[in-house]
Structure formats: structure tokens, C-alpha cells
Amino acid sequence: MSGRLKTGILISTVAALVFLPLLFVKQPAPGPDGSRAELFKGSDDQASAAIKKLAPAYQPWFSSVFRSRGPEIDSLLFALQAAIGAGFIGYYIGYSRGRAKNSNRTSDTDRVH
């Protein structure tokens, strides 16, 4: 099997794993107040709603230091955090591969002499 074929199969498999589950997701039922439920609502919002329902008198221990100006800023910060994390992971993988190649070259030149 050629390298291009393997790459194509791998990309197709990853795309299928990403997009096929979205075809099987059902729209959630409307909430008790008749409002349309959001499909990809965050777990933080769901937890807050459950706490308000179970213990209405609950007071949080502390509040956030930073208040964003809207959901767009929240999304931006989340994407920035993900990009920085992916950058560190990519750098580490590249650095590790470079070290491994360099150590293989060093060991090959040692065997020649």
C-alpha cells in the first residue's frame, strides 16, 4: 500500500469519525418552559441549572476574577487556549522526533568508525 493511499484512508477515517456522529444526534426536547433546548449546551450551564433546582439558597464560595463581555469573547479565549495547547503538543512531538533522528545519526556514525 502506497503512502498516499494510507494518508487518504487515514484522513477519510478521521473525517468520518468527526462528521458521522453529527448525523445521529437528535434534537433535544423543549425545556419545561417551552423554550427550545440548545443542542451543544455546555456542562457548566447544565450544572448551574441543576444546582439552582436542587438547592435554590446555595451561594457560591467565590466569584470569577475576570468577567468577559460576551459569549464571543468566551469562545475566543477557549479557542486561544486550545491553540496554545496544540502548539505545545506539536512542539514537543517535533522536538522528540528531532532528538530521536539526531541520536540515530550519532549512533550510525559511531558504528562506522
Q: How many CB atoms lie within 10 A of CB 81?
A: 10
pLDDT digits (tens, 9 = 90+) for 64-83: 787 878 878 888 889 999 99
Q: Is residue 81 part of a domain?
A: yes
Q: Is residue 3 part of a domain?
A: no
Q: Is residue 36 part of a domain?
A: no
Report the domain count for the chain: 1
User: Do residues 39 and 28 touch, judged by C-beta distance below 8 A?
Assistant: yes
User: Do residues 30 and 36 touch, judged by C-beta distance below 8 A?
Assistant: yes
User: Do residues 25 and 39 touch, judged by C-beta distance below 8 A?
Assistant: yes
pTM (2 decimals)? 0.45
Q: Is residue 104 part of a domain?
A: yes
Flag whether pLDDT at 113 surpasses 60.
Answer: no
pLDDT digits (tens, 9 = 90+) for 89-102: 999 999 999 999 88
Mean pLDDT, the chain, whole residue set: 84
Cα-based distances in Å from 4 to 7, 10, 75, 77, 94: 5, 10, 36, 36, 22
pLDDT at residue 107, as a whole number: 66
Q: Is residue 44 part of a domain?
A: no
Q: Which residue has the higher pLDDT, 50 or 111?
A: 50
Instruction: Identify the weakest region by mean pLDDT among 9-18, 26-35, 51-60, 99-108.
Output: 26-35
Q: Is residue 95 part of a domain?
A: yes
- Note down the domain range covering 80: 70-113
pLDDT at residue 81, as a whole number: 96
